[in-house]
Homo-oligomer: A and B are copies of this chain.
Amino acid sequence: MIRASENQEFYELDSPTLLPKASGFLWNEKMMIHMNCRGYAVAQYMQPEPAKYSHAPNLEAKTFMQPEQPYYAHHPGRFVYVKDEESGEIFSAPYEPVRVPADRYTFAVGKSSIVWQVECGGVLIEMSLSLPKEDPMELWRVKVTNLSQKQRILSIYPYFTVGYMSWMNQSGEYHEELQAIVCSSITPYQKYQDYAKIKEFSDKTFLLADRKPVAWEVNQEVFEGEGGITGPSALREAELSKGDARYETPAGALQYRIHLSPGEEEAYRFIFGPAKNEEQVAQIRSEYFIKDNANGEDGFAMAEREYDQYIREGKGCIEIKTPDPDLDNFVNQWLPRQVYYHGQTNRLTTDPQTRNFLQDHMGMSYIKPRLAREAFLIALSQQKSNGSMPDGIILHQDAELKYINQVPHTDHCVWLPICLSTYLDESNDYAILDEKLPYADGTESKTETVLEHIHKAMRWLASDRDERGLNYINQGDWCDPMNMVGYKGKGVSGWLTIATAYAFKVWADICERGGQAEVAKEYRAAAEATNEVINRYLWDGEWYARGITDDNVVFGISSDREGRIFINPQGWSLLSGAADPEKKEKLMRAVTEQLETPYGVEKLAPSYTSMREDVGRVTQKHPGSAENGAVYNHAAAFYIYALYAVGEKDNAYRLLRKMLPGPTMEDIVQRGQLPVFIPNYYRGAYRQFPRTAGRSSHLFNTGTVPWVYRCLIDGLFGVQGTPEGIRIHPQLPSEWSEATVTRDFRGAKLVIEMKREPGVQSTEVYADGIYLEEGILRNITPDTEYSILVRLPETV
């Protein structure tokens, strides 16, 4: 069973085997942890690049987080073994590694904590994980309650995996004076030039306890013995060996022996994380476990409270009540948190991809517009003076462009006006256009306005085209590793050309609102000219092609056996205006017939099952995975956004709803995750490999969420800002007869009741009883509450 808790602050799962990969996600300024319902953990922190303090049992590749992350017996995790000292029976909470089925089990995923209750043979183990607001460390509580009718003697063994820290140097020791296990390592390196970095690393992992244990074990091999991790030999002894690890794989195991009368309980707290040295562990101990504030609260409890506060700051700008309670819960509780995470942490990378960075801060415009403003200025100050944008934005002085950011992509400029427009809608801060910024390849003193920066970006897009007027793709564009379409310098991107037309349109609107009507006209003309080119070269009869290769082969078309249709050119052509009504109907039908699945809209279909050399890497990806035919939610969200833009409210809502796991249990199980976040993709290739279609990637990082938020604001609930105020123009699905939206906007609060009523011909909007022309509420006064009524026509 899966359910939202009564206060809707938690999503609960009552079995560790129903969704074995179900995870909660916690993060702060320095770290992120995916905590699995069964006790497995994927955690990383920034120093300044991503690093680990709980390692795999072997030498793991340093890479981005993996989709559909496999778990295995020795996967890093946080466990509590429990031994009945009289019977010798053991179990482990939450479930791994012993896998004894619990009599009662709850895994509750909250926004600032993750909580388990595991009852087994009359013993209840409650575990909870929270984080501090800033430091990279885990705050754990473990409570043991005797639910049975008799006195119990138990040994409790918190077991925190440390893993294979380093082939160069690793060890572990218990420090009596710290009540902590401290495991030490040195990061290997080969070039002396790297030493300056290495020496600053927090290469130690500590497990700090608030209570003195009776014994401990720091040596994984000794702990496990021939019993293995599923039944450690050390648990058969009266006490753990109190040994050390010298180059052996370290582990963090403590033992507490307790006598509990019926109903009695005992509580423990632990801190687990990286440290630079023992002094730092001592300081953490003092700060979290020793010093109390005036209320008698120690640092641990304070940190939990502060963290909860910090997460609550990430609330969204709407609260909804609709006929769809699952949607309500997701939008009110979970979606803004995921948007906030992206804007707050920049995906815990020091060189976020430019398009991600801009879109993440498009989302942040709804939550912390000040931070979004700063981000846009940072990005634009890294623009080159020829107008082009870099492949990643450098956020740390030591950062460099890594991985995919070393491969040139041609789409970054289009995101500038598109993302900025949301910031302007929300903040009305057109003054940002006058901010002066340098260029990355210019001098600090030679600055130009944001307006001029974006003009240059638009001109760069207009110039990076072939003789037909189609935009070059080079080694890739948005979320497509089509690295071999245009690497010879000739291939073009259909989507990017369409996106450029849309960017021109959006920029024209911004210019006009910013008082540049003449320039706006030019961009509108450029958009129109681009749309003509699009229709001339890319319309395939029923839908738009994806691109044209170096060898002038058009692809993403009806004669292709695989990769016949791509979602992106279709949705964006609705936005750019390329698609006339007839084309619109045709392409929407094609999408429904060929791309729509029970789990959303696929990115392309049919998935490639073998290499197509003139397309490249996307065709080598697993069918239905990531970009090769997955329900790539980022792209799907954009299609939904486009549907709202052209008034396709029912089509849009249906697809939006498919993006969230549920509402049926069968659907949740097939996707394999709790409905607390939108993953970057669900497995696609539905028509080719139905068994695995729908599976969640389990990745929390995705550009999807700001677009879903925009779909709600600009589309479904129609509460988008304008220069004059806010325009109320809902597009409720036909099946809804009403909805209530509370909208925080420019310091004011709007309580908006939406109702279908008999006799209403077209949407009518009233503010405190007064009819609003064009549905626009003007002259909004901060700290004021407006009561808005929206009368909608009944559904035919």
Contact = CB atoms under 8 A, between A and B. Distances in A.
B59 A72 contact: no
B58 A70 contact: yes
A477 to B, nearest CB: 14
Interface stretch (A23-31, A399-407, A771-779): A399-407
Nearest to A70: B249
Interface in A58-77: 58-63, 66-68, 70, 72-75
A190 B74 CA distance: 30
A164 interface: yes
A122 interface: no
Interface string A546-557: 000000000000
A621 to B, nearest CB: 6
B190 A247 contact: no
Given A59-B61, A192-B616, A230-B228, A72 B70 contact: no
Most buried by B among A171, A406, A487, A621: A621
Nearest to A622: B169
A61 B61 CA distance: 4
Contacts of A186: 620-621
A56 B70 CA distance: 11
A280 to B, nearest CB: 16
Interface in A660-707: 683, 689, 691-692
Interface string A181-199: 0000010011110010001
B189 A692 contact: no
B63 A195 contact: no
A407 B60 contact: no
Given A57-B70, A58-B70, A404-B190, A622 B247 contact: yes
A73 B231 CA distance: 12
A49 B582 CA distance: 55
Interface string A479-503: 0000110010000000000000000
Given A73-B72, A190-B404, A226-B17, A59 B60 contact: yes
A625 interface: yes
A760 interface: no
Nearest to A189: B617
Contacts of A404: 190
> How many protomers of this protein does the assembly include?
2
A686 to B, nearest CB: 12
Contacts of A487: 192
Grouping DSSP codes into helix (H, G, I), strand (E, B) and loop, the A interface class, with mixed when no group exceeds half, is loop
A66 B188 CA distance: 12
A99 interface: yes
A475 interface: yes
Given A60-B61, A66-B167, A70-B164, A484 B195 contact: yes
A507 B409 CA distance: 58
B74 A624 contact: no
A403 B546 CA distance: 41
A73 B616 CA distance: 37
Nearest to A608: B169
A199 B68 CA distance: 25
A229 interface: yes
A606 to B, nearest CB: 15
Most buried by B among A61, A99, A168, A190: A190
A70 to B, nearest CB: 5
Contacts of A58: 56, 58, 60, 70, 72, 75
A382 interface: no
Interface residues of A, number: 61
A170 interface: yes
Nearest to A68: B247
Interface in A384-425: 403-404, 406-407
A611 interface: yes
B247 A624 contact: yes
B59 A66 contact: yes
Given A73-B74, A406-B190, A689-B246, A168 B17 contact: no
Given A60-B59, A228-B230, A73 B70 contact: no
A616 B99 contact: no
A233 B759 CA distance: 63
Given A58-B60, A72-B74, A622 B171 contact: yes
Contacts of A63: 59
A57 B169 CA distance: 24
A715 to B, nearest CB: 33
Interface in A35-67: 56-63, 66-67
Nearest to A74: B72
A221 B407 CA distance: 35
B625 A247 contact: yes
A271 to B, nearest CB: 26
A132 to B, nearest CB: 28
Nearest to A249: B70
A139 B271 CA distance: 50
A123 B68 CA distance: 40
A483 B248 CA distance: 25
Interface in A153-205: 164, 167-171, 186, 189-192, 195, 199
Interface string A236-252: 00000000001111000
Most buried by B among A72, A199, A683, A691: A72
Nearest to A246: B692
Interface string A85-108: 000000000000001000000000
A56 B164 CA distance: 14
B199 A611 contact: yes
Given A61-B61, A228-B73, A616 B195 contact: yes
Interface string A331-346: 0000000000000000
Contacts of A189: 617
Contacts of A624: 246-247
Contacts of A167: 66-67
Contacts of A692: 246-248
B70 A622 contact: no
Contacts of A622: 168-171, 246-247
Interface string A526-558: 000000000000000000000000000000000
18 contacts: A56-B56, A57-B72, A58-B72, A59-B63, A61-B61, A70-B248, A73-B73, A73-B229, A99-B228, A168-B620, A168-B622, A171-B622, A192-B407, A199-B611, A246-B624, A246-B689, A247-B683, A248-B692
Given A58-B75, A74-B74, A190-B407, 20 more contacts: A58-B60, A59-B60, A60-B61, A61-B62, A72-B73, A73-B74, A73-B230, A169-B621, A186-B620, A189-B617, A190-B404, A192-B484, A192-B487, A192-B616, A192-B617, A195-B616, A246-B622, A246-B691, A247-B622, A247-B683
Of all A-B residue pairs in the complex, the 8 with the closest CB atoms, nearest first, are: A73-B73, A57-B72, A72-B74, A169-B622, A59-B61, A61-B61, A192-B483, A247-B622
